[in-house]
Chains A and B, each alone.
Chain A
């Protein structure tokens, strides 16, 4: 019989191996599922993982991976700070929406003026919007001891209602024949988060995603704040003795993740999406939670995890259109990835032991 034995210290090797093995296990599990659906499993796996990177049209897909991954990475970086310290911001989706509304709102308020200051102002207000939305659970937690998980999650639904109201009212395109949705910022030069290199689709948000990765890395490795975050996560008692102010940490972590989520929303609305619409948000704020854990809450890990997640999305779409795979199969495939990761994660903290017949269980 096999049994689990707790390791004295978490295994470094397994911490790094688990994500890699999880990807392989997903390929095998997914392959079996695709075969059961009557598709060639090798072709399906190749289409999902290989085609976006190396096929004939990879020149289009490669930069698209960055475009799709950027908001995931940016939000996940922010979330990982709090998660490390045991502060659970589950409402990044709402902060993402508010960031987009604030950023786009600034531009639409001054439409059709053209100025070089508009886009920087949008960046500022996008971040500020996300920051303030995250301050609601932060202040409620520090002042009244409410649970930030519930408050931040509930505020997602409030943000969605606000988004619907904005698309139908205040920010509605006056030239849109009564249809919901704002003006398209792609047609408003000063506010357009345009692609930086023609044909790639790569926009300023992708750059900010990379910057946020570097920033988080330096913060955690070199700055006192980063030390406090790590310390609080690893040993709350020691953190208290080291003089960490837990309330301030809550405000910092929620504020930081809120601002990054807001920025992600603002870059999305001014670039790839172009407009505020009722269903502008597509769940990046929630998927980013998976990305943060898949990346071990480590900045470099999150970068890789974000790109992997983007790969399964884009590869999944290609598999749908060229192999006729149902979208539910692709979602199940993505679910397997998380499942295997969590299962294999067990081995970071536990050892598998063959129990000999005589020993007690």
Chain B
């Protein structure tokens, strides 16, 4: 008997046991940050709570927070599967290979991995088109800046983050040709100290708009302390910092997806899928644009949001050149998701952004 059969039969026995008891569907969540981060993990946990609310007694959820991306996450997932989880959401890119490993040992447990690209019979992937939100953000930021310097706190130079920078940049540039981006890499998803330092450095360099791709509210607090600097909520609304410095936000709304996938497991209709939804499907939300933004800018931002939502406009529409001046998209052409030069693997800056993608 090998490990696969032992684990599988253990899991099966557990599922059978729980099934006999109350027919509860067990759903596990693996979080990369603390649930109180006010950003990325907070929104995933809101999704979990929505699942509990939607199904009441029929579900039981469990979660482990601040799980390092690596072998530790593999153990946490195994632990959940052994405890009889039917469905496990692993909510960070770094959980990709561990998710695939554990899924191979528990063929009867369904896995959902956020922001990755490796699928299996019992592993789905899902992500949101955050770059659509970045377009609206850049549109507002480009018009609000007086110093024409926009600061950007990057987490890791992975395609998802680079897409966000590019999208924000081209939409800021479209409304303000003099705009300049200063990018600082924090190499963390959640570290209030580092994020605050990064924000302060950017503000000292003259940035009066600070965009962030990290999850804490520390940059908001730094901007508030500096005064006259605007920010946007990241992953979560961060409304506590409105109307200034937080003038709007990109909100991740995982609740509808988590509810749908849990329902699919209950109904036995779950299949391995790849989901990449944006503003239109409601996975990405634009938070209330605050009173600090003039009415005309607000109106055009809302119009941009709506055109992204109904699909009449794509956030990456040509003509667009890469940083080195070579053509990426011809006039009128829109970016494809996959393949050469596709959005999924975007690892280059667009023309006009200074500096190099860290390499």
Interface residues of A (CB under 8 A from B): 57, 60, 64, 67-68, 160, 164-165, 168-169, 177-180, 184, 186, 198-199, 268, 272-275, 277-280, 282, 313-314, 317-318, 320-322, 324, 326-328
User: How many angstroms between the C-alpha atoms of A164 and B63 in the bound complex?
Assistant: 29
User: How many angstroms between the C-alpha atoms of A160 and B67 in the bound complex?
Assistant: 19
Give 13 A-B pairs besides A274-B97, A279-B68, A280-B70 with Cβ atoms closer than 8 angstroms: A177-B159, A180-B156, A180-B158, A198-B2, A279-B69, A282-B68, A320-B63, A321-B79, A321-B80, A322-B62, A324-B63, A327-B34, A327-B65
B66 near A57 with CB under 8 A, answer no
Residues of B within 8 A of A60 (CB): 7, 78, 82
Residues of B within 8 A of A327 (CB): 34, 64-66
B63 near A321 with CB under 8 A, answer yes
Residues of B within 8 A of A57 (CB): 10, 79, 82
B70 near A272 with CB under 8 A, answer yes
B71 near A317 with CB under 8 A, answer no
The yes or no answer to B76 lying at the interface (CB within 8 A) is: yes
B76 near A277 with CB under 8 A, answer no
Residues of B within 8 A of A168 (CB): 157, 358-359
Smallest distance from the beta carbon of A71 to chain B beta carbons, Å?
A: 10
Interface size on B, residues (CB 8 A): 43
Smallest distance from the beta carbon of A289 to chain B beta carbons, Å?
A: 18
A178 near B10 with CB under 8 A, answer no
A57, A164, A179, A320: most-surrounded residue (chain B CB, <10 A): A179
| Contact of B117 (CB < 8 Å), options: A179, A313, A321 | A179
* Chain B stretch 146-172: residues in CB contact (< 8 A) with chain A: 156-159
- Please name 24 pairs of A and B residues whose Cβ atoms are closer than 8 Å in the assembled complex, sorted by A: A60-B78, A64-B75, A164-B187, A168-B358, A177-B345, A178-B345, A178-B346, A179-B345, A180-B156, A180-B158, A186-B97, A198-B3, A199-B3, A199-B6, A274-B97, A275-B97, A277-B94, A278-B156, A279-B70, A318-B79, A320-B63, A324-B63, A326-B35, A327-B64
B83 near A282 with CB under 8 A, answer no
Smallest distance from the beta carbon of A197 to chain B beta carbons, Å?
A: 10
B158 near A179 with CB under 8 A, answer yes
Residues of A within 8 A of B53 (CB): none
Residues of A within 8 A of B347 (CB): 178
* Chain B stretch 71-99: residues in CB contact (< 8 A) with chain A: 71-72, 74-76, 78-80, 82-83, 93-94, 97
User: How many angstroms between the C-alpha atoms of A314 and B93 in the bound complex?
Assistant: 22
The yes or no answer to B353 lying at the interface (CB within 8 A) is: no
Residues of A within 8 A of B226 (CB): none
Can you name the residue of chain B whose Cβ is closest to the Cβ of A274? Answer: B97
Residues of A within 8 A of B78 (CB): 60
